[in-house]
Structure 1
């Protein structure tokens, strides 16, 4: 049978190495869903709008700064002649504050003029603040204590002030005041170096080198500066 040509059909299995499926059987790439593409576009548009807004705000702030030149100042309540409405409002608030701290009161010899304040534990009489001790010290120790409190022993100017001290002390005990007899002058002298007017304030007792002044009631008495007495401190009231 020489010369015969033999034909055979080869059926290769799909799992055979090197085998390849027909092109028509290969899966094609799946296109992206429409909502995904829409979300990407919306995100890009949002970023662009945000950048534009930031740029516009920056230009607007720069324009304001260049136009104003500086930050606005707080209203000046003390500016006389200022026409700023905020100044008038501030002045109104200050007046309301003063009226709350200093309500109208009946006239009194110890009232003083205007609205004045004293700190805690100090009592206002006329234009002065007074602090009354509870313990006892010598005149020099009392003077030092008042100095440490930013004040001094009282320098009495008139009868009304002496009556104010009487009201503070209730006239029960002896209290040191800023009066002494510095040696060798042998004359009653206040702490501010002024001489006592004995026609206005007669002193009961001798004027000796170790004598200091105390008040009891509406009278000034002479006492030994080494005696232990209560004392009074005096300082100016704070005007409001």
Structure 2
């Protein structure tokens, strides 16, 4: 009888595990030697560590959203303030920009001297009035002084642009710019020197010692000429 050959079969245990963080990826690992309780504890630890990140991310997104909303509100308020600051209509200001048209409980016209003084426009920290009659430069300055102001002083292009938006047609208006008789140099009222913002469109200034402005031009003219004029005064005065 033929000797029976003994055949031994060894079965290897193959376990398929899913690697955390790699969905769909399969990994072959040798048989686990850890008891079931230890494996369960390991899984709970992993979930606790990774799930704790979710509230943190949620809080960060919420904070970012709040910041964006605050910035948007600030931009809207700033835009509204700028519109109100340069807008000429009191009724518009009362309806659309009540906070910007009030200063310590004072209305637009109380800040600019009242309705009787006819201060129609506000820009930055000053109120402006455009005359409806023609006068000489000296007479114009006297009329402004009676209203508590003076002829307009424009030291920057922003003020010049604002004024030109409210000038009628091709009319010229006296400004507070006049030639200094002793030095023959141009100065604003208050001895403020002329800067590059104000450039004359005529170069012959002989016997033309006062300056007037229109929508498009700036001219030197005889102070005895009769023109419309623009008065200014600071808010609250």
Q: If the length of structure 1 is used for normalisation, what is the TM-score?
A: 0.50
Structure 1 vs Structure 2 CA RMSD: 2.6
Deviations along 1:136-184, one digit per CA (max 9) or x if unpaired, are 0000110111111110000102111011111221353000000011213
Q: Tell me the equivalent position of 1:107.
A: 82
Q: Tell me the equivalent position of 2:181.
A: 183
Summarize the Cα distance change of 1:219–1:159 in structure 2 as closer, same or farther, 3 Å threshold. Answer: farther
Instruction: Give unmatched runs, 5+ long, in structure 2.
Output: 1-78, 88-98
The size of the alignment, in residue pairs, is 135
The structure 1 segments of at least 4 consecutive aligned residues displaced by more than 6 Å after TM superposition are none
Deviations along 1:50-72, one digit per CA (max 9) or x if unpaired, are xxxxxxxxxxxxxxxxxxxxxxx
**Are 2:201 and 1:204 aligned?**
yes
Q: Tell me the equivalent position of 2:91.
A: none
Q: What secondary structure sits across from 1:161 in the alignment?
A: helix
Q: Tell me the equivalent position of 2:125.
A: 127
User: How far is 1:124 from its partner?
Assistant: 1.3
Say whether the 8 Å CA contact 1:186–1:208 is kept in structure 2: no
Deviations along 1:203-229, one digit per CA (max 9) or x if unpaired, are 122344541010001532111111000
Q: What secondary structure sits across from 2:174 in the alignment?
A: strand
Distance in 1 (CA, whole Å) between partners of 2:185 and 2:178 is 8
Say whether the 8 Å CA contact 1:181–1:207 is kept in structure 2: no
2:162 maps to which of 164, 175, 178: 164
Deviations along 1:180-212, one digit per CA (max 9) or x if unpaired, are 112131111101101101x22211223445410
Say whether the 8 Å CA contact 1:181–1:208 is kept in structure 2: no
**Are 2:195 and 1:219 aligned?**
no
Say whether the 8 Å CA contact 1:139–1:226 is kept in structure 2: yes
Summarize the Cα distance change of 1:170–1:126 in structure 2 as closer, same or farther, 3 Å threshold. Answer: farther
